[in-house]
Amino acid sequence: MARPVIAIVGRPNVGKSTIFNRIIGDRLAIVEDKPGVTRDRIYGTGEWTGRAFSVIDTGGIEIEGEDSLLRSVRMQAELAIEEADVIIFMVDAKAGITTADEEVARMLFRSKKPIVVAVNKVDNLQRMDDIYEFYGLGFGDPVALSGAHGMGIGDLLDAAVSKLPVIEDEEYDDDIIKVALIGRPNVGKSSLVNAILGEERVIVSEVAGTTRDAIDTPFEKDGQKYVLIDTAGMRKRGKVYETTEKYSVMRAMKAIERADVVLVVINGEEGIIEQDKHIAGYAHENGKAAVFVVNKWDVVEKDDKTMQQFTNTIREHFLFMTYAPVVFLSALTKHRLHRLFPVINHVAEQHALRIPTHVLNDIISDAVAITPPPRDKGRSLRINYATQVGVKPPTILIFVNDPELMHFSYERYLENKIRAAFAFEGTPLRLFTRRKSDQE
């Protein structure tokens, strides 16, 4: 389900990132400690009083080549205005209202978006009187907080969550595969959308998506129904979207949350950059089926080894997504486009695959017999049994004598054995351990 979005805006050094980290808590922790998973984030998820939401830290948006600090702050505010349902406007109790604060306030006021003023650095009772100045910004009651001490975070979340809209997802039948295209700007997402919907489509209707400006396009091919969740056509006006690439992560997240299969589009002409890993990492962390689509393959100078070399490069850069297949094509010429849909269907099937419990336990028993768990301080891990508790992604719960004895490397070994038996191509595989007595 798509989550509403809260953005944190404010000039530098008011504590945006500290509050961002306080709000998301451990929810941004990377599920698997695999090499290659990029760790710096400007986008996270949180939950408060039963409401789940996404959070944007605009302080994490680096805008290069800016001569004016005020201009940079203005651009970050523009991003938040475009993307957010509720905006937290961060100010500094010690500094009072500055020129930059006033500039941001004017932009936010014109946006008509719900605003919560958060007065940070109220680190003691003596500073409480400093918050009254911020009534002058015109957004109602300011919330006093201290990011350093974690005080006032609950009050801030109460105020922000109370202003969140209720987002209801468009309901689709289970047999419809929801496909999202993600990728940084200029990788050819728009061209690929046009190629898919131009050559292959039988359009049923165009439905306004549940996230702003998204278009869900249902279509059918060879008897299989799909919904294309289009982020490629969501171009915004303004130089902010030409200057910074990180906004593409925000757009991608909204599509990822609602998709079954995520197409990670890479520019075959330019190769792979760090931003590609950021975006793909969100698909992985959200447990979605994924396919790497190398676009613009028609303009790449190649020989009989080029495709394998590029595949190897993808594997080296995306060590945390070795399960994802790679498709090379040209959206412009439609060359090899016919290879895409069989792969989408396959990974969607793998994403929803369920293994009978007795078969799963046979595989794990054989794995343990071949390589027993290592001993730790004289104690050995004992695996009692395993069961699959979920799909999309396939999620397996392993009951053991002591979860702390399950070393990361041995868990990876078990995952590899399960994948060797059942493939699970194109989908993450989640393994969790629990003490046997916990379920009794």
239 marked ligand binding residue: no
14 marked ligand binding residue: yes
Do β-strands 86-92 and 51-57 pair in parallel, antiparallel, or remain unpaired? Answer: unpaired
What distance in Å separates the CA atoms of residue 39 and residue 194, rounded to the nearest whole number? 33
61 marked ligand binding residue: yes
231 marked ligand binding residue: yes
Run of H or E residues at 179: strand 177-182
185 marked ligand binding residue: yes
2 marked ligand binding residue: no
378 marked ligand binding residue: no
Give, as one character, the DSSP assignment of residue 333: T
72 marked ligand binding residue: no
> What amino acid is encoded at 359 in this protein?
V
60 marked ligand binding residue: yes
Nearest to 183 by CA among 260, 249, 235: 249
What is the number of other CB atoms lying within 10 angstroms of the CB of residue 39? 8
136 marked ligand binding residue: no
DSSP, collapsed to helix, strand or coil, labels residue 177 as strand
Cα-flanking dihedrals φ and ψ of residue 421, to 5°?
-85, -35
> 286-302 burial string, b = 16+ CB within 10 Å, else e?
bbbbbbbbbbbbbebee
15 marked ligand binding residue: yes
What is the number of other CB atoms lying within 10 angstroms of the CB of residue 303? 7
281 marked ligand binding residue: no
92 marked ligand binding residue: no
What distance in Å separates the CA atoms of residue 3 and residue 215, rounded to the nearest whole number? 16
Question: Contact 363/418 with Cβ under 8 angstroms?
Answer: yes
222 marked ligand binding residue: no
230 marked ligand binding residue: yes
244 marked ligand binding residue: no
What distance in Å separates the CA atoms of residue 339 and residue 195, rounded to the nearest whole number? 13
Give, as one character, the DSSP assignment of residue 28: G
187 marked ligand binding residue: yes
What distance in Å separates the CA atoms of residue 338 and residue 190, rounded to the nearest whole number? 18
Q: Would you state the structure tokens that stand for residue 128, as one six-digit string?
A: 């409480």
What distance in Å separates the CA atoms of residue 34 and residue 428, rounded to the nearest whole number? 12
223 marked ligand binding residue: no
- The secondary structure of the chain in percent helix, strand, coil, rounded to multiples of 5, reads 40, 20, 40
232 marked ligand binding residue: yes
Instruction: Give residue for tokens 């080549």.
Output: 65
295 marked ligand binding residue: yes
Q: Would you state the structure tokens that stand for residue 69, as one six-digit string?
A: 């600090």
17 marked ligand binding residue: yes
58 marked ligand binding residue: yes
Q: Would you state the structure tokens that stand for residue 113, as one six-digit string?
A: 């978006």
Binding-site annotation: residue ranges:
10-17, 57-61, 120-123, 183-190, 230-234, 295-298
Binding-site annotation: residue ranges for GTP:
10-17, 57-61, 120-123, 183-190, 230-234, 295-298
